[in-house]
Amino acid sequence: MSAGKLSLSILTPEKPIFQGEVDFVVLPLHDGELGAYPLHAPLLGKLGQGELRAKAGETWHRYYVGRGFAEIADDVVTVLSDEAMLLSELDPEATLSELEEARSRHARTAEEIDSRLADMDRAKVRRRLAIRK
């Protein structure tokens, strides 16, 4: 790893989404955003759904990440998420359909209600990021 850089890995159960060196990263934690530069103190944090931003030189890499965990240790940032993708891959029309489907789904049991609410939260975040990109 180069001096003054972070090694960033964004991983999902299906595949690695990004692996490379960056100068700075902003993580969407469940209780707010966290920015990290090289020499950041060790940290284990719970991810919240949202936008992960990483700067490499003059280029910003922007990703949607779902729920999971992030670890920072020895200038290595590891993000383990149930889902992740480039923001440019989020289709505004598809995210609108996801949101409408989640809103219209009937739920009768507590488990179905929890699932519907989680799907609505996910769809809202994805929709907001898709139209903002």
Asked whether residue 14 falls in the same domain as residue 66, the answer is yes
CB-side exposure of 77: number of CA atoms within 13 Å? 28
Number of domains in the chain: 2
In a domain, 1, yes or no: no
CATH of the domain at 43: 2.60.15.10
Whether residue 63 contacts residue 27, with contact meaning beta carbons closer than 8 Å, is answered with no
Tell me if 22 sits within 8 A of 40, measured CB to CB: no
Is 102 in the same domain as 59? no
| Domain boundaries, position 28 | 6-87
> Which tokens sit at 39?
């020499």
Cα 4 to Cα 53: distance, rounded to the nearest angstrom = 18
17 plus 48 within the same structural domain: yes
| pLDDT tens for the chain, residues 1 to 133 | 677 999 999 999 999 999 999 999 999 999 999 999 999 999 999 999 999 999 999 999 999 999 999 999 999 999 999 999 999 999 999 999 999 999 999 889 999 999 999 999 999 999 999 998 6
Same domain, 101 and 48: no
CA neighbours within 13 Å on the CB side: how many for 110? 0
